[in-house]
Structure 1
Amino acid sequence: MTYLLNLAFDNGIAVKIERVHSHTPSAANVKQKRIFINSNWYRPEGIIFQLAHELGHIFCKHGDLDVVYFSPSKRGIELEANRYAIKLLLPFYLDGKEPYYVNVDQFMDCFSIPTHLEKIVEQEIRKKIREI
C-alpha cells in the first residue's frame, strides 16, 4: 500500500482514504488526478487492488470520463485498469520467489482479485517471469 501511495504522490495524484458505507466503491477522477478509496470496503483485502486499479485509470489516461468507479469488469477501460493493477502488484508477490513457487490462485487471493481475471493474471505472471 505504501508503494502505491508513494507512486500516486510522486505523480501528483491525490488519494483520499475515507470510511464510508461498506459497499461504496472506490473511484478515480481522471481529469483532476484524484482517487477516493473506501477504507470500510466489505472485503478489506481488496483495498490494495482497488487503489492499484484506480491508479491504472489515471496512468492509462482514461480522460474521457471525469469520475470512474471501481468495477471489476471484463471489458474496455475497466479491463485495462485491472490489467494495469495486476502489473503493479505482481512484483510484490514475485519478490524472492522461485518461478516454480508462483501460484496464480495465491496471488489472486492475496489481493482479492476477481476470479474472472484469472487468465489476465496468468498472462501477466508468464510475462513477468520471462523478464526475471
Structure 2
Amino acid sequence: MLIQPDVDTYLENIIKANNITLIQITGDQYGPDVVSVKKKVIIMNLNYRTSFSYHFRMAHELAHLLSDAPKLTYNHSQLSKGSAEHQANLYGIKLLADYYFSEEQSKKDHWDRRFQFIETFGLSRLTHLVEKTLKTT
C-alpha cells in the first residue's frame, strides 16, 4: 500500500538528484503552482484548490524540468490542451506510476490496479492519460 511519506521521499530524491529548488508557499486557493525551467525552481502553493493530489501536481511540475521542452515558466494547468502541458501530464503520471507499481512486474497487475492509482492521486479527469501511460510501460 502506498504511504504518503514514501511518495514524499521519492519525489524529494528526484528533486535533489536534479539540483532543483522547491519552494512551498501558502498562497490563496486560486494561485496555481509555478515552475521556472530556466532557474530550476518549483513553487508549490499548499492552498491551491484542485482535485489533483499534491503529489501529482509536484510530478507534473517536475516533468517540465526533466523533459526536453522549451525553457519557459509554467503555471499549473493539467487540463490545458497545450502540448507542453499534455507531455507534463504524461511524464508526471509515469513518474508516479514507476513508484506506485514498483513492486509489481506484471502489466496486467498495473492495469487491474489503475483505478486505485487514479484515486490515490486524484487523476479521474486524466483517466485516459493514465490508461495510455499504463499501456506503454
Bin of the TM-score, shorter chain as denominator length: 0.7 to 0.9
User: Does 2:103 correspond to 1:93?
Assistant: no
Cα 1:22/1:91, change in 2 over 3 Å: same
Q: Secondary structure at the match of 2:56?
A: helix
Cα 1:10/1:87, change in 2 over 3 Å: same
User: Does 2:115 correspond to 1:105?
Assistant: yes
Corresponding residue pairs, total: 126
Identity of aligned residues (%): 30
Cα 1:45/1:32, change in 2 over 3 Å: same
Unaligned stretches of 5+ residues in structure 1: none
Distance 2:44 2:122 in 1: 15
Instruction: State the match for 2:5 in structure 1.
Output: none
Cα 1:96/1:6, change in 2 over 3 Å: closer
Distance 1:114 1:24 in 2: 22
Give the aligned CA root-mean-square deviation in angstroms.
2.0
- 1:8 deviates by 1.0
Instruction: State the match for 1:41 in structure 2.
Output: 48
- In the superposition, the TM-score normalised over structure 1's length comes to 0.83
Unaligned stretches of 5+ residues in structure 2: 1-7
Cα 1:114/1:25, change in 2 over 3 Å: farther
Instruction: State the match for 1:119 in structure 2.
Output: 128
Distance 1:106 1:25 in 2: 26
